[in-house]
Structure 1
């Protein structure tokens, strides 16, 4: 009967008989709009709280990542996002690996930036800060910080960060302020606290001392001057009229000069001027002492055209000299500078630049100060410069002149000093130089070294607390902790912190500000800091203070009657002064281990953190201050591990700057792409170096995300309707499925070890390559035919069983990174009010899934397949065929063992061809080869037969079955389906 006879039954629509993927999981993610819904859902079902309950029920081993507190004074920048995402990936991966991973977010709330904002508000209103009651001022600072905590909390949550957001820690909480004061009092009681007068870095803009961690270095253009000091006595006859030349980039410190330093290891000479340019501050016959290496440059700067080196000058000769200050005898000085200026030796003097002699003002330089400490000359310190970098009233000529003004611009002090030196014949040369100079990292204004009374923690003084397991001093304990207690990621972090602590001076604890925790101590009037009873050390007084702080916060220190309240009847109130300096905010954040890890129920059992995680700048910041603080109060480091990450740069590798317009706000990325793309950028990056981010980079990340999403979508679609009744045991699976299980066993080890080592880039790269290469381009490509076209066969059930196994592992492996997307994937299969992938653990993977001989076999199979697919691609490119199913290639394999292995497999299905002929015959010349794969050649042949209208294979048996237009396999599937 003819096919077009009306009585011929109509052929079925074979497409409707296929097992095509069915899923509502959208191809387009729509993350910016959909992510907030998942955030609301997690909050509603209490995921974080349920994990804590689960951990208690299962008695899991705790893992505590202690949050380094961001500052509560502005919107998040991309560096904040990087930091918090890394922390979140640590917490989630540790939790899903079987730990009780706790995360208490926190904020740094005290200190200058907030105080500065309130002062700015006052200035705009024409108000005087000092006229406002200090408690009222502090309350305004507290309110300002509270507002930003709420804003930043929402911004962090939007990135998908998990944690105890309802109960974070704040350094301004009353209990926190109480503990900070208690920790300070431990320094008071253990003998490491002292008040000293030494040069500290001082911000004239902010009018406070700064720690090294609060200083950054930028290029700055400074004056340079070459100043000759006349010799008063001690010189042999031929040197009596000579002058010692110094060079400095801080002319304003010349009025405070107290010595000139030299280095005995440097070669010095006596030089005579024989000729000068017309305009020169030198004259023929002048004699100068200079370092030989620098003499030519100095004389050239002084416009000397000819000179003679008369002889060597020994260290003994130099040490015997006494000099005259350049302003000595200047009319109007009233004897202010009529003192001897000794020559002193110092290892800090070099002949790399300058003159080989260093002008020494111990009140304005660290090296200068140390030289005077070694000689017990602290009574020679000067107090010439005030808190606004102004010369004080007692300084002749310069009283009231500032080094820098309140806006950080250069004041008149340098120019005035230079002019007075010129008038006093105290210069031989002057100039300008651009060099690296310390600036406040908050105001961005230059700082000065200024001698002021400050409170210090002595890091080389024995700590009298008996906790000497790691050393008797803070420095010893810190260096021992670094090497014996802490794991560093990357390991270079160890060297960085070690060298900093090894060389650092005593810790400056005090700040001359208002918003913070005060130094809760009293000093006895009419005593010196070196007197034993200078500091009041009374546990009863300390307890009164901390109890008040617990109830009222640190404001209690500033309330009327505080002094009498705390001293009580035990001490004469008039005999003591109350200290009103506040603590360095790094002491606040360095103390967080005590009021977070130690005191909170959800802290740490031993009061120590498993991990501190911050940027590399925190080696001089939080890692550093936490180490010093804990070594002073508990005898060791507060952390067992430290992880550091780099900084964020723009797409071209430039530092981000608002002035350059190259900043990228997390909010903008989330609005365009979604938070998961931002998280994926972090996971794809090497966080141990600086990270670049820009439009092109984000487009690449989005493309990776799209490919991964498609992989997950295919799995979901192919698992539609899958149930336990469909599952097949691994031992009953075909080799291809057992090879996938082998790869999963390998990956399980890679993922677990990678997460344990915080190697998120390595974990994601392994998973991404597996998903896109092993699965999408290989396994899925091969098994689509079975999944779509088979009936209830072993092959299809095995493939779906493997897909289910893949699903559970990929969703949990990737959940710490793509928190929103993996939740979406999970809920597609397991919907429900209480369901969440983030309540799951990574499934255990049986060790016997690993099969190295099978993997070796399939590595050979894939090599041969590569040659076949490359040969077919050439035919497709030449338009000989449109699809690989039109081919039935002849595959020549010269290795008998490989050929035998291929013959045990359905190699045509593996190559996605309708047929394949395997042969060990010699490879013909016309065969297609790949140069990198020896012993394999492919001769193209067209498939013979008719095209199956259901699976599209071209086979000889099409037309010979009950369903005339399909192959035998499809005919059986149709019968099983009742078609």
Structure 2
């Protein structure tokens, strides 16, 4: 047949004979509109419950429990919530699909300041005073508020595609939960770790309560800073330094001692309001101190010429600069022995109007916390307002003060400053600091003043500054020796916690271990009490007239505890506040009139720290040993939920309540800045879902390294959406080419061509890596491997090559059946590998092939992949083939760009290969099909100079040649035999296929 007979006009239209992909799976996902349909479908068929039934039916699935750290039920979800819950969903779904019974019970924190504060805000808006409302009525309002937000947040979490036991979540305000929290607290009461102490704690004057460390955040704050003289009263008569070569007589000794008596010790502080509470001045014995004489001063200096000042040598210049002293002389050393012998006068001693309040001696005491890095080398010590100060007070018997009221004002009868606020009700600085500065200046004690911008503690709820304030609080003694029969990992809470961290818990990332260890190792006793209304009360009674140190101060009675627990179980914690409750639980056991009821509420971290008891231990869908496989939260929870759960469980279980602690970072904007409504850079999950769909948000989570801080923003989301489209196209190609696939077509691996067996090898590799990655919580690694496999190995290589076979080979050809068999194997693995991440899309893919009222990919397991699919020798061979293909395709791209050819099938290049083994490998396969050319020549001959080469792939060169022959009207290959067969315009392969 001549060439003019094979023109496009004379040849039949063979388009209907080509097996083009056929699928209803849409190119455009339409996720925002379609995802709610899948959610409704999953709810209808009860996916989560069916998985539990499946586990019960099979009976051999190992249980796996991720215990949910409870968010507060007090507002719409932010992007951090979405990240957290999606990560948890990745874990439970992947573990389930790897053959375990992975249960997930979502929960909420319902007590505590965040919710109580919202109700108070409503009260303030109405001009109401919370303290005038019946406490039970107030608590009911808090409960109703939490209930409302639980329902809202539950719906928002479900919209993210997160599955779990949403019908029966745990709430810390449920009656059983409140009863168990009280029971767990009473274990502290009974084991001797509970005590009442008076010590400084972080205090919010705005919220009128103590705060836990986890409720504190640090922000820049501008504080007043002052340098204050504490004049020497007496002492300091120590011998002169022996290393001094000068001989002193008695007169000299007396003169030097007299100099010291005329001096003033200089302190520096950023909290002028604490000066009235000063009870000592601390120094460090190893710091070099000197006595300095002021010789000359600048204008407006508060220093006087001739005065003597005591300070650390390393800081003398900076102090004099602040005091505007232009000339000074160091007169002599002052050693530690002399300093310890000094007695100072309080700056307000003898001040008019002070009424003798501060006419006491102020000792100079050695303290290890003092440094010469900033300040003066002397530390003003107020035991009621700082932990270091408090420890000094304990060590040296310094008196505690009670000058500051719960609202941050001085007690009304405090001379000079009575009733003045340190922090106002609106969180702004009160007049106390300025009043003290003025009083110090009037008393002649102010040497210098200034302001400093520094990191300062604030309440995470009200955002107001905090103070350290001495108050009677209830504490758990974490170093108390326990005799409770649970001493396998230590005999104190701290010892058990540290042993758990080192021996029982795996941390992801590993650095979380050191962080939590150092926090537990260095933390003080746990402050359990809060002066609030909404929470579980400290269910204990104290004996009237007894001191906290008395053995009978606390009522320890198991029958009383049982009555309390039973009442909470049936009526909730509100019953504690009902009139007559004390008499009800004490009568018949002890005289109710002998005891007072405690009305503080528990730190809400104790609530969430106790969840292992009423969720893991008590629920049917909990765990046999009350220990979770995983706790996952943000990095801030090393001082929050991870921390409190560890302390609480070590006191009541003897060990950590978790086996794995997984930590994620914070979510930042695209520039790496913290999100803030004021900056307008917040990303709201609801808005992302409306624009892109929840699967795009889930894919963003999978693409990030969650162990570090992550970034998100419009441009990042566009990139995620692009990755999604590329992945979706791969899946769509697979679906289209599986249309009509049946078991009769299946080809055994041993009968498959090498290319298909190479794909099986990659599946065996990936199956191992995916399972390993999911077990290690490396979702980024899992997705990156699968995405690269889909886009590089499949779309750009295997699918690209096999399109010709799938479309144009005879329907029953071995190559085509093998390719479709591989597509089927790919389908089952890719859909289940990716289902934990892209929950909606993989359901869409699955149902496109396997529709059914009860069908779902989420009811499937990841299929087992035969180990003998792995073939390292074959893989090495095909690595060489792919390298050679890269050179060929690059060479053809040069010709395509130059418009010499339009498609690679127009080419028949000559490939020069130096390496004999590679040349043999290329000759053993249809390399022209691999390169998608109509023909190809392979030779060991030296390549001509003009041949195309890639520098990174030496030993391979390509000389471009055009294909010889005519274009097959069915497969588009250009071959010499086209036009010589029964079917016009076809090649031999297509002619046979048409027959």
Report TM bin, short chain.
over 0.9
1:306 counterpart = 2:327: yes
Map of 2:843 onto structure 1: 823
CA offsets 1:174-204 (integer angstroms, 9 cap, x no match): 0000000000000000000000000001000
Give the structure 1 partner of residue 657 of structure 2. Answer: 638
Helix, strand or coil for the counterpart of 1:86?
Answer: helix
Query: Which residue of structure 1 lines up, in the alignment, with residue 240 of structure 2?
Result: none
Separation in 2, partners of 1:126, 1:955:
90
Secondary structure class of the residue paired with 1:469: helix
**In the superposition, relative to structure 1, how do residues 15 and 361 fare at CA in structure 2: closer, same or farther (>3 Å)?**
same
Please give the per-residue CA displacement for 1:593-623, whole angstroms capped at 9, x wherever unaligned: 0000000000111100000000000000000
Q: C-alpha separation between the residues in 2 aligned to 1:323 and 1:63?
A: 65
C-alpha separation in 2, matches of 1:65 and 1:335? 62
Partner residue in 1 for 2:355 = 334
Deviations 1:699-723 (A, max 9, x none): 0000000000000000000000000
- Partners of 1:893 and 1:2 in 2: CA distance: 37
Question: What secondary structure is seen at the aligned counterpart in 1 of 2:99?
Answer: coil
Residue of 396, 410, 435 corresponding to 1:391: 410
Q: What per-residue deviation string (whole Å, max 9, x for no partner) do you get for residues 923-961 of structure 1? A: 111211111111111111111111110000111111111
For residue 876 of structure 1, the aligned residue among 896, 913, 924 is: 896
Q: Which stretch of the first structure deviates more once superposed, 546-555 or 888-897?
A: 888-897
**Selected match of 1:371 from 392, 396, 415:** 392
Which residue of the partner structure matches residue 566 of structure 1?
Answer: 585
Moved more, 126-135 or 961-970: 126-135
Q: How does 1:312-461 map onto structure 2 within 5 Å? A: 312-377=333-398, 380-461=399-480
1:222 corresponds to: 223
State the match for 1:526 in structure 2.
545
2:194 aligned residue: 193
Q: Distance in 1 between matches of 2:484 and 2:823?
A: 61
Q: Aligned pair 1:126/2:127, yes or no? A: yes
* Cα separation, 1, equivalents of 2:916 and 2:485: 76
Aligned residues: 971
Match of 1:433, SS state, is: strand
TM-score, length-scaled by structure 1: 0.98
In structure 2, the residue matched to 1:232 is 233
Is 2:730 the partner of 1:711? yes
Deviation at 1:466, TM superposition (A): 2.3
Alignment map for 1:197-212 (pairs within 5 Å):
197-212=198-213
Kept after mapping to 2: 8 A contact 1:225/1:247:
yes
Q: Which residue of 2 aligns with 1:911?
A: 931
Deviation at 1:4, TM superposition (A): 11
Choose from 864, 868, 884 the match for 2:884.
864
TM-score, normalising length: structure 2: 0.97
Q: Distance in 1 between matches of 2:295 and 2:792?
A: 81
Is the CA contact 1:479–1:498 (under 8 Å) kept in the aligned structure 2?
yes
In 2, Cα distance between the equivalents of 1:464 and 1:182?
Answer: 18
Does the CA contact (< 8 Å) of 1:192 and 1:459 recur in 2?
A: yes
Counterpart secondary structure, 2:524: coil
Return the offset for 1:843: 0.5
SS in 1 for 2:632: strand
- Equivalent residue number for residue 244 of structure 2: none
**Candidates 564, 576, 579, aligned match of 1:557:** 576
Deviation at 1:884, TM superposition (A): 0.7
Q: Gaps (5+ residues) in structure 2?
A: 237-256
Counterpart of 2:294? 273
Give the distance between the partners of 1:896 and 1:361, measured in 2 at CA: 85
CA distance in 2, matches of 1:665, 1:445: 25
Which of 843, 850, 854 pairs up with 2:870?
850
The answer to whether the Cα contact below 8 Å between 1:191 and 1:464 also exists between their aligned partners in 2 is no
**Counterpart for residue 640 of structure 2:** 621
Residue 697 (structure 2) pairs with residue 678 (structure 1): yes
* Whole-angstrom distance in 2 between the partners of 1:545 and 1:931: 80
Equivalent position of 1:943 in the other structure: 963
Q: How far 1:13 sits from its partner (Å)?
A: 2.1
Given that 2:2 and 2:979 are in contact with CA atoms closer than 8 Å, whether structure 1 keeps it comes out as no
Deviation, 1:11, is 4.7
Task: Using the TM superposition, give the Cα deviation of residue 238 of structure 1 relative to its aligned residue in structure 2, in angstroms.
Answer: 2.4
Contact 1:216 1:440 in 2 (8 A): yes
1: distance between equivalents of 2:483 and 2:911? 82
Q: Distance in 2 between matches of 1:338 and 1:3?
A: 120
What SS class does the counterpart of residue 206 from structure 1 fall into?
coil
Cα offset, 1:128, TM superposition: 2.2
Q: Distance in 1 between matches of 2:919 and 2:218?
A: 68
Cα distance between partner residues in 2 of 1:583 and 1:43:
37
* Matched residue SS, 1:400: coil
Query: What residue is the counterpart of 2:269 in the other structure?
Result: 248
**What displacement does 1:546 show?**
0.5
Q: Does 1:761 align with 2:780?
A: yes
Q: Aligned residue for 2:47?
A: 47
| Residue 17 in structure 1 maps to residue 36 in structure 2 | no
| Number of the residue aligned with 1:697 | 716
Distance in 1 separating the partners of 2:563 and 2:9: 99
Name the residue aligned to 1:112: 113
The CA distance in 1 between the partners of 2:317 and 2:868, in whole Å, is 79
Does 2:101 align with 1:100? yes
C-alpha deviation, 1:331, in angstroms:
1.2
Deviation by residue 1:407-426 (Cα, 9 ceiling, x = unmatched):
11000111111111111101
**Deviation string for 1:216-257 (max 9, x for gaps)?**
111110001111011111032221100000000000000010
1:476 CA displacement: 0.6
Deviations 1:707-746 (A, max 9, x none): 0000000000000000000100000000000000001111
- Counterpart residue number, 2:771: 752
What RMSD, in angstroms, separates the aligned Cα atoms of the two structures?
1.3
Which of 612, 626, 631 in structure 2 is aligned with 1:612?
631
Alignment gaps of 5+ in structure 1: none
Structure 2 match to 1:56: 56
Structure 1 residues 13 and 32: CA distance shift in structure 2, 3 A: same
- The Cα offsets for residues 873-896 of structure 1, whole Å up to 9 and x where unpaired, read as 111111111111111111111111
